[in-house]
Structure 1
Amino acid sequence: MSMFDIFAEQTRITGSYTNKVLANINQECLRLAVFEGEYRWHHHPDSDELFLVVTGSLQIDFANGAQVTLTQWECLVVPRGTTHRTRALGRTVNLTFERLGAQTVFSEGPPNTTPPCLES
């Protein structure tokens, strides 16, 4: 068994971007991300991704132009294959749950696809 203090972990991070695995659970992992600014456009062909914001605001942009902004203790599941990018609005701390070793495919910009979770 492992116990860790997520609050203490995030307070020790001083850089503009850190994303690290805190724990492995079965075939999944729990990641702690602390960052400012934006992450690249990408998708995960083999894993859904759950974002849970601990502090700050996290904007998630989707390929079809849709946006979702999560604030403290809000979460969203991005289905596998959905092209997205995350943008921290100021310093943001979030937890991410995804498949252990999930593949990440980067792209230069949003392709013309509609995320399954936000179809009109």
Structure 2
Amino acid sequence: MTSEFPNAEQYAAETARFPGRAIVDIRAEAAAVTEAYRNQVLFDVNGDCLRMSVFEGEYRWHQHPDSDELFLVVAGELEIDFDDGGRARLQPWQALVVPAGTVHRTRAIGRTVNATFERQGARTLFVE
């Protein structure tokens, strides 16, 4: 599944699918996802963006050195592991901020949909 993930440059270069003032049915957008992993920028907001992530399984260990990352689970359950051994488990409509520079990985429990708020073009450093 790792080969399906974007590299750091692709992740940072993604632009918003929808312009300001567009009404977007995020539930319908999530329902249309058939891949095991899709993470896409829906909107730009000032210098930040709203991403919708739909995935199964686990993402790679990484950090965003210059951007906090707010996770809001919309459906399913999301675990976030931290390199210090900590772990958070989010249920629908729960949120958590991962501070900039924090090494973490996300793991979907079944199919998970979350909205993520972060700096547009946030740098990502993968930890292998």
Normalised by the size of structure 1, how large is the TM-score?
0.89
CA RMSD of aligned residues (A): 0.4
The code of the aligned residue for 2:126 comes to F
CA distance in 2, matches of 1:9, 1:29: 16
Q: Secondary structure of 1:7's match?
A: helix
Structure 1 segments (4+ residues) deviating >4 Å:
none
CA distance in 1, matches of 2:75, 2:34: 15
The code of the aligned residue for 2:65 comes to P
CA distance in 2, matches of 1:71, 1:104: 25
Q: C-alpha displacement at 1:100, in angstroms?
A: 0.3
The code of the aligned residue for 2:69 comes to E
Aligned residue in 2 for 1:88:
108
* Number of matched pairs: 108
Aligned counterpart for 1:16 among listed residues 36, 39, 47:
36
Aligned counterpart for 1:32 among listed residues 21, 29, 52:
52
Q: C-alpha displacement at 1:3, in angstroms?
A: 1.1
Q: C-alpha displacement at 1:55, in angstroms?
A: 0.3
Aligned counterpart for 1:42 among listed residues 62, 66, 71:
62
Identity %: 61
More helix by share: 2
Normalised by the size of structure 2, how large is the TM-score?
0.84
1:61-98, Cα deviation, whole Å (9 max, x unpaired): 00011100001000000000000000001000000000
Q: Which runs of 5+ in 1 are unaligned?
A: 109-120
Q: Secondary structure of 2:35's match?
A: coil
